[in-house]
Chains A and B, each alone.
Chain A
Amino acid sequence: MKSQPTTRDEREAARRRARRRGLAISATSTVALLAALAFAVLLSPGWHLVRTTFFSWHWFNSSLRPLIDAFWLDVRMFVIIEVIVLVLGMAIALLRTMRSPVLFPLRGLAAIFVDVMRGVPLLLLLYLIGFGVPALRSSFLPTDETILGGAALAFCYSAYVSEVFRAGILSIHPSQPAAGLALGLTRTQVLTHVVVPQAVRRVVPPLLNDFISLTKDVALVSVLGPQEILRAAQVIQDYNFNFTPLVAAGAVYLCVTIPLIRFVDSRQARARRQQEGVLVVL
């Protein structure tokens, strides 16, 4: 051990050296790992076949246009359904957290609705609503498959989202509504101006996660007939016995989901920073 005191310059120099060493090690190991993976894949005997079947430039290009056209249906659906889900989810959450005795039967129905919609597989729900409702031959109920499929998705996701909102509402400390009431606000005003705004802010991360999940589940509506992007990819795949359209569809999806995911993560990181104040360096 040294017996002489360390100067400030010496300390900084030592830190710089340590940093460089760390970077060199991580860079080398990353490149080595990638090289090993590349070796394993590119040198396997079936690589050529896999490349032409899954990553064919020709099929990627030719299927891109019809896939993007089909994707437009998915986009319209998940935007509209998300709006419905947020409204319906909030309504159900409010219904279940309010204590007014008048609403008791509705509250019971809401609880059953949430349990069933979360408990039944979404695909089953799509079949039941998509094929079952038209079978009723009712003149009031819609028969368009996109609407029925959208309804199934909306019911299922509203149930999940209502639970998220409910958790948010219940997480608000009772002193907040108490302060609102003390000002002379009615219960409705307290909900509108004090409780709900705070609850919603708190549950934005899980809500965004549910939205990302919805963007992908929208593809399931294809079982009822409509040609959305994954179905369109499957059609090209089946007709030509080439799987590249699926890869292309995945790429199109990533163009939407990755920005969404990055956005969610950055928001969550920001919220964490605000709460903790200091980023702990390990």
Chain B
Amino acid sequence: MAVLELRGVTKLYKEREVLRGIDLTVGEREAVAVIGASGSGKSTLLRCVDLLEEIDDGDIYLDGEAITDPGCDPVPVRRRLGLVFQAYNLFPHKSVIENVVLGAVKAQGIPRAQALEAGHALLERFGLAGREHDFPDRLSGGQQQRVAIVRAIATKPRALLLDEVTSALDPELVGEVLEIIRELKAEGMTMLIATHEMGFARQVADAVCYLEDGRILERGSAEQIFSDPERPETRRFLARLLAGARA
């Protein structure tokens, strides 16, 4: 059974269809990358999966359970998912360690001492030892995003949703963030990744979907999509992307 399954998901924003009939599955331990131009609906897709937005048609299933059912309480669902934002969205009034343990302590009721211990271990593992008591504004963008990822995995989610997590970073800081994600994938974390980083998607993703104007036009393995896409739209998009990267 797939961890995440989207069937015919449609989302309207002021009469405009932002997502049209999305079908998507993410299997256990699988990393699925969603690529596409800005405005194609990648962020909206992830926000809908995390129930931060309401869909207008279709269903989303987490471990077989229909989480978009009107009677379903979104809070427990969100506890089982982790979402990392493009702009990190750390809480500026809390220190790094407080950011990390907030979810575990308040949302999951884990005892504070236990959460602190786990939090410290995670931060140390990802190269942030010694920065626990700093506030987010003293960290570089790459460090902040690493904290954001730690914050999202501290609650031990079923799946991790990554929304363009390197797009706001300076190029030299991108590597450290991608490194963490690679590690998490290696440990078997299920992931749905919206990204621009083609090289990274190629290395990490088991499957890649191309999203254009709210529709998934093509889905295949990373190797297949990047070397030999079927659809002309996919080809055009990749060509533009490569031209931009070279220039």
Contact = CB atoms under 8 A, between A and B. Distances in A.
Is there direct touching of A and B in the complex, by C-beta distance under 8 Å? Answer: yes
B52 A183 contact: no
B89 A183 contact: no
Could you say which of A179, A180, A198 has the most chain B C-beta atoms within 10 Å of its C-beta? A179
A76 interface: no
A182 to B, nearest CB: 4
Interface string B101-112: 011001110000
A179 B152 CA distance: 10
Contacts of B76: 184
A183 B151 contact: yes
A183 B93 contact: no
Contacts of A176: 89, 91
A181 B78 contact: yes
A179 B93 CA distance: 14
A282 B46 CA distance: 49
A98 to B, nearest CB: 16
A193 interface: yes
Nearest to B53: A178
B92 interface: yes
A66 interface: no
Nearest to B73: A186
A176 B52 CA distance: 12
B50 interface: yes
Nearest to A187: B75
B79 A184 contact: yes
A178 B78 CA distance: 11
Interface residues of A, number: 17
A186 B102 CA distance: 12
B155 interface: yes
Contact of A175 (B85, B93, B108): B85
A198 B93 contact: yes
A185 interface: yes
Nearest to A197: B93
A184 B102 contact: no
Contacts of B19: none
B93 A178 contact: no
Contacts of B107: 183-185, 189
A201 interface: yes
Interface string B68-95: 0000000110111111010101111100
Interface in A83-104: none
Contact of A182 (B52, B87, B92, B106): B52
Nearest to A175: B89
B131 to A, nearest CB: 19
B87 A183 contact: no
Contacts of B79: 183-184
B93 A182 contact: no
A184 B106 CA distance: 9
A194 interface: yes
Contacts of A193: 91, 102, 106
B89 A184 contact: no
Contact of A201 (B47, B52, B93): B93
Nearest to B82: A182
15 contacts: A178-B47, A181-B78, A182-B78, A183-B78, A183-B151, A184-B75, A184-B78, A184-B108, A185-B102, A193-B91, A197-B93, A198-B91, A198-B92, A198-B93, A201-B93
Given A184-B75, A186-B75, 10 more contacts: A178-B47, A182-B78, A183-B102, A184-B76, A184-B79, A185-B75, A185-B103, A198-B91, A198-B92, A198-B93
